[in-house]
Amino acid sequence: MTITYVLMQNLRRNPLRAVLTATAFALPMAVFVAAISLVVLLAKVSIASQKELRLGVRHKVSLINMVPEGMRRKIEELDPDHDLLRAVCGMRWFGGKVPGTQNTLTSLAADADTFPIVYSDLGLTEKETAKWHSDRLACVAGSAPVEQYGWKVGDRITLESTVPPYMSLEFHLVKVLTAAERGNVFYFRRDYLEEALKSANVPSNRVNIFWVKCASAQGLHDLQNRIDAAFANTPDETKSEDENAFMANFTQASGNIPGLMQAMAVVVVFIVALVAGNTMMMSFRERSRELATFKAIGFQSGRIFAIVLAESALLALLGALAGVIPTALVLTYFPVKNLRMGPISSFDVSPIAIAVSLIIALLVGLAAGLWPAYQALRLRTVDALRKVA
Amino acid sequence: MPESEIELRDVRKVYYKDRIDIPVLEGLNLSVPAGEFAVLMGPSGSGKSTLLHLIGGLDSPTSGSIRVADSNLEQMNERELTAWRSRNVGFIFQMYHLVPVLTAAQNVELPLLLFRMPSSERRKRVATALGVVGLGDRMDHRPNQLSGGQEQRVAIARAIVTDPRMILADEPTGDLDAKTSEEILNLLNTLNTEFGKTILMVTHDPRAASHGQRLLHLDKGVLERDERTPARAPAAVS
């Protein structure tokens, strides 16, 4: 027999209370691990965005205010030798959805010539790039719509726009994007859209944003200042920001979701700590005479302190595992689809989230057990034993 | 004259509660030789349990000296007292205080967790202790599967498993019927006579008291009477 065995057996002392307390950890930790996974994914998107050195240039007022496509040439002329700038790609929002469905894809028409350069991280092969250039109807799509609608490379796809003039266009799928942070996107050629707009007699030649691929982080910073300065005091004043900042704005357009999640997590953790602390205090009070007996037979106060603290931590950890493991399994085998948070379409459980959740549960368990353990440390054996009499 | 196992000199104990001094023991002198079975009697509040706790190193005197098992307890800090207790004293309480989720054997094994000892040696000692108290066949029973008398026997086995020099028993039969009390007291007698344990027992029960060799009557913190019961001779101490 070991002290650990005694700890484990102690959890059986009041099984209902142990199960309820463990459940009080399990449920919030299940939500917590999912929330942390999402935050981790957003952080990954942020890191990936920073790495790609893309600068988004849009109208200063908002993304909805479109800017003339001729601005691209002016941006390119700011660095004629291409020391800072690799390529500029104009993009226009299409907001397409599959006919008969409600889900709007993050669908954008991109400049055909520069798209493969500016979005080199999408991993288009030479063959796929050649198809993109040769076929006006070419498109690339994230894994979410591909899986949802059963598309395959080579398929003909029809999307209806959700913005005026609500046109319907047909595309040829040349690549499926597998990265989770591109799971919900749909890119196609802007020249194809422009032709369609002209046919529909809609004024065009305007874009929502230019993505500028930069040569270096310093170059990105310099270009950001130069571009905004170049268009200052014009009808189309610009606001330039790196992709990381742009994504943060975009994913938080409907509210500061990560912030909200963190706030909720803090509140939940605090409540769980109170519940667990109360339970541990009750447990300690019920067992004060037994703990006094432990002291009487030679257990040092420090060891009693450690036993009470470890019991609380163990209960918290077991509860957290009971919440985290099923959540991790469910999200691994049934990942969340159709999340539609900006370009992010799905997420599964991150090992970091599991580790963070378990560490937090452990810390909450220790915090909850701290006061009872301190009381046990200070417990006067004589006083506790006298209660019997 | 055997050497004193317990030696108290001018021991005073005063509790301080709500700004009032409450004297419990008043200049007590006592000497208990090794191998003696002494019984402490007296009315409630006379200081019996306080004296037992002082001798067992669970509490410290306000003044005076306490020498038990060759150690001056009043000079030891809490940590040293705790370690000293684990080696020298076995406690038996009225309410047994067994851990309900552990078996009889595991309860008896608890004090041995404080010693560096192979598990085989621990198991051997546990089996011996439970055999001495007559519960060799109840090792895997949990406290709720045992009678009150059997629970107290487990508590006694827990008290002797470390082979302490003395046993301090606080009303060990207070919660038991007459027949079971007699069995427990006979067991204590066995521990005293056959195993040479010095025993100090607190009791209200005159019948229980008759099992000792010496009766100490406390009243209002003062040792009023110190009588010898010649029926039993003190155990031979090796």
| pLDDT confidence bin for B94, thresholds 50/70/90 | confident
pLDDT of B124 strictly over 90: yes
**Searching chain B, which residue's CA lies closest to the CA of residue A290?**
B97
Running DSSP on this structure, what letter comes out for residue A341?
Answer: B
For residue B149, being part of any structural domain is answered with yes
pLDDT (0 to 100) of residue A389: 42
CB A89 within 8 A of CB A115: yes
For residue B237, being part of any structural domain is answered with no
Give the ipTM of the model, two decimals please: 0.85
- Count of domains observed in chain B: 1
For residue B67, being part of any structural domain is answered with yes
Residues on chain A touching B106 (C-beta within 8 angstroms):
1, 6, 9
What is the sign, positive or negative, of the torsion defined by CA atoms of B164, B169, B173, B174? Answer: negative
CB A315 within 8 A of CB A365: yes
For residue B238, being part of any structural domain is answered with no
For residue B235, being part of any structural domain is answered with no
CB B232 within 8 A of CB B54: no
Give the SS3 label for residue B154.
Answer: helix
Q: Which residues pair with A109 in a beta bridge?
A: A92, A188
Structure tokens at A145: 């719509």
- Cβ distance A300 to B102 less than 8 Å, yes or no, reads no
Collect the ranges in chain A with pLDDT lower than 70: 46, 48-49, 180, 249-258, 335-348, 387-389
CA A132 vs. chain centroid, Å, equals 30
Residues of chain B with pLDDT > 70: what percent? Answer: 95
User: Based on C-alpha coordinates, what's the Rg of chain A?
Assistant: 29
With b for 16 or more beta-carbon neighbours within 10 A and e for fewer, the A333-365 pattern comes to eeeeeebbbbbbbbbbbbeebbebbbebbbebb
The minimum CA-CA distance between B3 and chain A, rounded to whole Å, is 25
- The string of pLDDT tens digits covering residues B155-180 is 989 988 998 999 999 988 887 788 88
pLDDT of B139 strictly over 80: yes
> Which residue is it, tokens 């288009």?
A124
CB contact B158 to A (< 8 Å): yes
CB contact B165 to A (< 8 Å): no
CB contact B86 to A (< 8 Å): yes
- The string of pLDDT tens digits covering residues A153-181 is 999 999 999 888 889 999 999 999 887 67
Task: Output the domain CATH number for residue B208.
Answer: 3.40.50.300
pLDDT (0 to 100) of residue B11: 92
For residue B97, being part of any structural domain is answered with yes
Residues on chain A touching B170 (C-beta within 8 angstroms):
385
Structure tokens at B63: 């003044």
Q: Which of B24, B85, B103, B113 to mutate to test the interface with A (most CBs of A within 10 A)?
A: B113
Range of the domain at B173: 4-228
pLDDT (0 to 100) of residue A190: 95
For residue B236, being part of any structural domain is answered with no
CB A33 within 8 A of CB A351: no
Q: Closest by alpha carbon to B42, among B52, B33, B32?
A: B52
- The string of pLDDT tens digits covering residues A28-52 is 888 888 777 777 777 777 676 677 7
pLDDT (0 to 100) of residue A49: 65
For residue B233, being part of any structural domain is answered with no
Running DSSP on this structure, what letter comes out for residue A353?
Answer: H
Helix-strand-coil percent breakdown of chain B, rounded to 5?
35, 30, 35
